[in-house]
Amino acid sequence: MKLNNYINGSWQDAGGADYTAVVNPANGETLCEVRLSGMQDVDEAVKAAKRAQKEWALVPAPKRADYLYEIGRLMKERKEHLAQVLTKEMGKVIEEGRGEVQEGIDMAFYMAGEGRRLFGETVPSELKDKFAMSVRAPIGVVGLITPWNFPVAIATWKSFPAIVAGNTFIWKPATETPMMAYEMAKIFDEVGLPPGVANVVFGSGGEVGTAMIEHPDIRVISFTGSTETGRHVAELGGRHLKKVSLEMGGKNAVIVMNDADLDLAAEGILWSAFGTAGQRCTACSRVIVHRDVKKELEERLLEQMKGLTIGDGLDESVKVGPVINASALEKIHGYVEIGKKEGAKLLAGGNVLEGDSLKGGYYYEPTLFTDVKWDSRIAQEEIFGPVISLIEVDSLDEAIEVNNSVAYGLSSSIFTRDVNQAFRAQRDLDTGIVYVNAGTTGAEIHLPFGGTKGTGNGHRDSGVAALDVFTEWKSIYVDYSGKLQRAQIDTE
């Protein structure tokens, strides 16, 4: 099967395009082929989106929202099918696949509700017989660039606020995971979105991504991916004066204080660190533990790690699926070797896994390092795999300092029973998301999602905050005095 672009409400035919294989990371099987589009395809999609946007912006927002209710309904109806496709193309275990699809469904209904809000402000004017208000205005054609680790949820965080606010979009999914985008394009088509409102263009970041960023008629780029790519996107976007929203890498930590419930902490750490084989942007890759409970926590982690079944995520009993591809395996193993050279103590794991039951997939053993120095490379750089580094500290202040020492600022967590420590931590942890007595993952769609420092550039996906990316504020003054009133001058 060949996946082709969805542009202007129809499927592009194959033409003379090149295709690349989409591979199931659980067993190396080719699932389908996907088009490698070029500048021409992007231009065609942008022309369609631009034509459609004028009309779309005039459709009343509650009517635009009706399409989202329908999209949510169809996603709900197909939840199991979508989750199976997601697990096949990306590898996360089926339970997490269902969770991710549910996130998309939640986002559809939540943003549909915004169709009847999209709140602006009415405020008093400083002058008599004058009315002042602000409204959210759509921006135009927006470009969405998404990563492979959440092939559907992230796209819904971006595309749903974009369309409810009156924009039209071009979505470029990661080349590793185009199948969910194809499934979503089918849904956009079935609900009858006007042609050109939703467009999906497949292809590499270098070709399609660059063409989108440089296209003069794309006004906003909303990007999620690595910090390295994000920096490049921002530089190029800046040159073209684009509004660029970036959600990038993380180096998230769980802090475990000496009064914590250690069983709960261990459970939270393993779920955050090894879920999605450590490839969530919010994955826990550092555990900052109080000296008094370090030994006990290590024992509990090792004990609970014995229960982690590794294999194809479609098997309901499996807890840790494969990583995305061979180069991810190589990168993760490279970091494990670096950790050993840096003097960290390997307590468990540290191997690429092979064997008949794993059928040629890309599996890495859940890995636990202890005695890791806070400033070593494995404690500072994003590994994006199932590897935990334990770092010992003496106090909450030191724990917070270590947490904040990295270049990223996405998610952090603290396990403590002391309400004072919990509140100090949530104030002082320099991350966009903080959890108390839970791991570093588990965001809900009605709150802003994003991070500080190298994780983001001040924008947020999800929640009402997502609307800020896809709207401009317009301030409107209506003077009904019948005379010229000059602000700041005619104040008597």
Task: Give the bridge partners for 364, in sequence order.
Answer: 352
Cβ atoms of 161 and 152 within 8 Å: the answer is no
Binding mask 373-402 for ligand NAP (x = CB under 6 A): ---------x-x------------------
Q: State in angstroms the smallest separation of the CB of 71 from ligand NAP.
A: 21
249 interacts with ligand NAP by CB under 6 A: yes
Chain mean position to CA 468: 17
Percentages (nearest 5) of helix, strand, coil residues in the chain: 40, 25, 35
Closer to ligand NAP by Cβ: residue 67 or 223: 223
Cβ atoms of 22 and 176 within 8 Å: the answer is yes
Closer to ligand NAP by Cβ: residue 107 or 347: 107
Closer to ligand NAP by Cβ: residue 101 or 410: 410
Report the site for ligand NAP in 130-159 (rule: CB under 6 A): 145-150, 154
Q: State in angstroms the smallest separation of the CB of 96 from ligand NAP.
A: 14
Amino acid in position 171: W
100 interacts with ligand NAP by CB under 6 A: no
Q: State in angstroms the smallest separation of the CB of 228 from ligand NAP.
A: 7
DSSP state, residue 205: I
Q: How far apart are CA 244 and CA 158, in angstroms?
A: 13
Query: What sign does the CA torsion over 102, 114, 192, 245 have?
Result: negative
233 interacts with ligand NAP by CB under 6 A: yes
Helix axes of 79-90 and 179-190: crossing angle, nearest 10 degrees:
150
Closer to ligand NAP by Cβ: residue 320 or 410: 410
Closer to ligand NAP by Cβ: residue 148 or 435: 148
DSSP state, residue 209: I
Instruction: Please give the full DSSP string across 261-280, using - where no structure is assigned.
Output: -HHHHHHHHHHHHHGGGG-S
210 interacts with ligand NAP by CB under 6 A: yes
Rule CB under 6 A: choose which of 260, 391, 406, 410 binds ligand NAP.
410
Closer to ligand NAP by Cβ: residue 412 or 455: 455
Gyration radius (Cα) of the chain, Å: 24
275 interacts with ligand NAP by CB under 6 A: no
Chain mean position to CA 310: 24
Q: Which two tokens stand for residue 425?
A: 């931590």
Let me know if 247 is a catalytic residue: yes
Rule CB under 6 A: choose which of 53, 229, 376, 421 binds ligand NAP.
229
DSSP state, residue 93: -
Q: State in angstroms the smallest separation of the CB of 411 from ligand NAP.
A: 9
Specify the stretch interacting with ligand NAP by CB under 6 A; choose among 1-9, 101-109, 170-178, 333-341. 170-178
Closer to ligand NAP by Cβ: residue 232 or 319: 232
281 interacts with ligand NAP by CB under 6 A: yes
- Comparing every residue's Cβ against ligand NAP, the nearest one is 205
DSSP state, residue 198: E
Cβ atoms of 449 and 469 within 8 Å: the answer is no
Q: State in angstroms the smallest separation of the CB of 21 from ligand NAP.
A: 13
Number of residues that bind ligand NAP (CB under 6 A): 31
Q: State in angstroms the smallest separation of the CB of 371 from ligand NAP.
A: 26
Rule CB under 6 A: choose which of 14, 43, 123, 206 binds ligand NAP.
206
Closer to ligand NAP by Cβ: residue 140 or 250: 250
Cβ atoms of 338 and 377 within 8 Å: the answer is yes
DSSP state, residue 202: -
Phi, psi angle pair for 349, to nearest 5°: 80, -150
Cβ-count burial 92-114 (b if 16+ within 10 Å, e if not): bbbebbbbbbbbbbbbbbbbbeb
Rule CB under 6 A: choose which of 26, 45, 184, 248 binds ligand NAP.
248
Binding mask 419-458 for ligand NAP (x = CB under 6 A): --------------------------------x---x---
Q: 3-state class of 1 per DSSP? A: coil
Catalytic pick among 247, 365, 382, 392: 247
Specify the stretch interacting with ligand NAP by CB under 6 A; choose among 186-194, 199-207, 337-345, 365-373. 199-207
Task: Give the bridge partners for 123, in sequence order.
Answer: 132
Place of tokens 């790519």: 229
Cβ-count burial 410-447 (b if 16+ within 10 Å, e if not): bbbbbbbeeeebbebbeebbbbbbbbeebbbbbbebee
Rule CB under 6 A: choose which of 4, 159, 175, 457 binds ligand NAP.
175
Cβ atoms of 337 and 293 within 8 Å: the answer is no
211 interacts with ligand NAP by CB under 6 A: no
Q: State in angstroms the smallest separation of the CB of 453 from ligand NAP.
A: 12
Q: State in angstroms the smallest separation of the CB of 18 from ligand NAP.
A: 14
Q: State in angstroms the smallest separation of the CB of 19 from ligand NAP.
A: 14
Which residues have C-beta within 8 Å of that of residue 325, sequence separation ≥ 6? 23, 25, 176, 362
What residues line the site for ligand NAP (CB under 6 A)? 145-150, 154, 172, 174-175, 204-206, 209-210, 224-226, 229, 232-233, 247-250, 281, 382, 384, 410, 451, 455
Residues with a known catalytic role: 247
